């Protein structure tokens, strides 16, 4: 942390800042420049709220130097984590790029089994599907609940696919852990800390979606909550951020994939469905995501998107998924991955 003093700060004012720095358990190092005096603070142990020093007289600003996360960092663990999911123990973060697909919501048994079959045949490794749905409107379909979980388990039984499904609260956690292979934390819950800690106490892999306005630091700190609670099987998922753009539901910033690969050992998955909001953009962005270094994709696929109970506009058909897979494979090869 660097404290920058305003020009004209007196010796006493600098001394006052030095005292504050010591109060916070840090060692100070004062540098007298031509325009500014600067107090470098050593020994930062990532305790975060020293911005309070900004309130001291004649302090111009306080600049953090260290990244705030630790155990999610590449500094602590150099090699990429491989996280095995489902009956097939497919390793997310390994040499192979995996594709997880399925409907936004589990609507009924037939829809789910038919989709699962198509997803399996296309060569995917996991089935996604919501049993508990966090919906923006209280008047929207809220999911089948435990009944939906049972349908997903049935689909796993028939296909061997890993089941990825969202947990939206502590109340449902037990049920979701019982049936699911991967616990999804949705974008809206990325900073719901009690839930992060709770999934951190389970032994199931967690797919953590980036909040729609979360910085990478905040995203990695959310992962850190889970790891810190005891569960290191965290899979990061970029699903797009909210910007001024209107032709998409979210802006999908694929540079985050490369930037995360440069900061953390955790695998990175991309969701091109929420990341764009339109079925016709899903294909190109899936290809781009793999080219950018994604370890896996999670794609919304529905047997009848025009009648989907939710997210119809961004769901692709089983046929579109089947056509996409060989192209993805070629891209994976081009970046020295397999599929």
Q: Does residue 15 belong to the site contacting a copy of itself (CB under 8 A)?
A: no
Q: Does residue 287 belong to the site contacting a copy of itself (CB under 8 A)?
A: yes
Segment 86 to 125, residues that bind a copy of itself, using CB under 8 A: none
Q: Of 61, 57, 4, 49, which Cα lies nearest the Cα of 24?
A: 49
Two structure tokens written together for 194? 């009690």
Q: Of 41, 86, 87, which Cα lies nearest the Cα of 64?
A: 41
Shortest Å, Cβ 159 to a copy of itself:
25
Q: Of 276, 296, 289, which Cα lies nearest the Cα of 101?
A: 296
- Number of residues counted as binding a copy of itself (CB under 8 A): 114
Q: Does residue 312 belong to the site contacting a copy of itself (CB under 8 A)?
A: yes
Residues 6+ apart with CB under 8 A from 174: none
- Binding residue for a copy of itself, selected from 308, 321, 324, 339, defined by CB under 8 A: 308
Q: Does residue 245 belong to the site contacting a copy of itself (CB under 8 A)?
A: yes
Stretch that binds a copy of itself, among 150-158, 173-181, 201-209, 278-286 (CB under 8 A): 278-286
Binding mask 60-79 for a copy of itself (x = CB under 8 A): --xx-xx-xx-----x----
Two structure tokens written together for 265? 């050992």
Q: Does residue 20 belong to the site contacting a copy of itself (CB under 8 A)?
A: yes
Residue 89 or 242: the one with the smaller Cβ distance to a copy of itself is 242
Q: How far apart are CA 272 and CA 279, in angstroms?
A: 9
Partners of 39 in the β-ladder: 3, 30
- Binding residue for a copy of itself, selected from 10, 15, 47, 158, defined by CB under 8 A: 47
Partners of 4 in the β-ladder: 38, 61
Read off the DSSP letter of residue 237.
Answer: E
Report the first-to-last Cα separation within the chain, whole angstroms: 44
Segment 212 to 241, residues that bind a copy of itself, using CB under 8 A: 212-213, 215-216, 218, 221, 224-225, 228-229, 241
- Binding residue for a copy of itself, selected from 106, 254, 266, 303, defined by CB under 8 A: 254
Segment 23 to 42, residues that bind a copy of itself, using CB under 8 A: 23, 29, 31, 33-36, 38, 40, 42
Segment 318 to 337, residues that bind a copy of itself, using CB under 8 A: 327, 330-331, 333-335
Neighbours of 101 (CB within 10 A): 32
Sign of CA dihedral 271, 275, 276, 277: positive
Residue 108 or 213: the one with the smaller Cβ distance to a copy of itself is 213
Shortest Å, Cβ 19 to a copy of itself:
10
E strands, 106-188, are 126-128, 162-166, 182-185
- Binding residue for a copy of itself, selected from 80, 251, 322, 325, defined by CB under 8 A: 251
Shortest Å, Cβ 251 to a copy of itself:
5
**b/e per residue 29-51 (b: at least 16 CB within 10 A):** eeeeeeeebbbbbeebeeeeebe
- Binding residue for a copy of itself, selected from 233, 305, 318, 324, defined by CB under 8 A: 305
Segment 170 to 209, residues that bind a copy of itself, using CB under 8 A: 170-171, 188-189, 191-195
Shortest Å, Cβ 224 to a copy of itself:
6
Q: Does residue 284 belong to the site contacting a copy of itself (CB under 8 A)?
A: yes
Segment 118 to 137, residues that bind a copy of itself, using CB under 8 A: 134-137
Two structure tokens written together for 130? 């919501």
59-63 and 2-5 strand pairing: antiparallel
- Binding residue for a copy of itself, selected from 10, 25, 54, 87, defined by CB under 8 A: 54
Neighbours of 330 (CB within 10 A): 11
**Residues comprising the chain, all counted:** 339
Give the SS3 label for residue 249.
Answer: coil
């Amino acid at each position: 942390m660097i404290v920058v003093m305003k020009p004209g700060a007196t010796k006493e004012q600098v001394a006052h800042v030095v005292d504050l720095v010591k109060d916070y358990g840090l060692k100070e190092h004062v540098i007298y420049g031509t325009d500014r005096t600067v107090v470098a603070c050593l020994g930062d142990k990532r305790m975060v709220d020293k911005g309070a020093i900004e309130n001291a007289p004649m302090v111009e600003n306080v600049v953090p130097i260290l990244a705030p996360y630790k155990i999610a960092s590449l500094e602590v663990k150099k090699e990429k984590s491989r996280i095995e999911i489902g009956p097939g123990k497919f390793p997310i973060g390994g040499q192979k790029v995996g594709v997880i697909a399925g409907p936004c919501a589990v609507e009924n048994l037939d829809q789910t089994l038919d989709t699962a079959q198509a997803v399996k045949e296309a060569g995917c490794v996991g089935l996604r599907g919501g049993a508990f749905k966090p919906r923006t409107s209280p008047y929207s379909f809220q999911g089948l609940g435990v009944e939906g979980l049972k349908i997903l388990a049935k689909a796993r039984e028939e296909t061997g696919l890993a089941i990825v499904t969202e947990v939206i609260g502590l109340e449902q956690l037990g049920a979701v852990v019982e049936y699911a292979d991967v616990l999804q934390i949705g974008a809206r819950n990325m900073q719901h800390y009690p839930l992060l800690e709770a999934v951190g106490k389970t032994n199931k892999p967690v797919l953590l979606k980036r909040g729609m306005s979360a910085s990478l630091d905040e995203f990695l700190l959310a992962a850190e909550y889970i790891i810190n609670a005891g569960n290191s099987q965290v899979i990061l998922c970029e699903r797009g951020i909210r910007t001024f753009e209107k032709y998409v539901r979210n802006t999908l910033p694929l540079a985050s994939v490369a930037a995360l690969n440069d900061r953390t050992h955790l695998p990175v998955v991309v969701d091109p469905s929420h990341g764009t909001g339109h079925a016709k953009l899903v294909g190109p962005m899936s290809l781009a995501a793999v080219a950018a270094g994604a370890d896996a994709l999670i794609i919304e696929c529905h047997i009848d998107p025009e009648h989907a109970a939710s997210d119809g506009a961004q769901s692709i058909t089983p046929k579109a998924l089947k056509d996409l897979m060989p192209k993805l494979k070629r891209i994976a090869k081009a970046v020295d991955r397999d599929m």
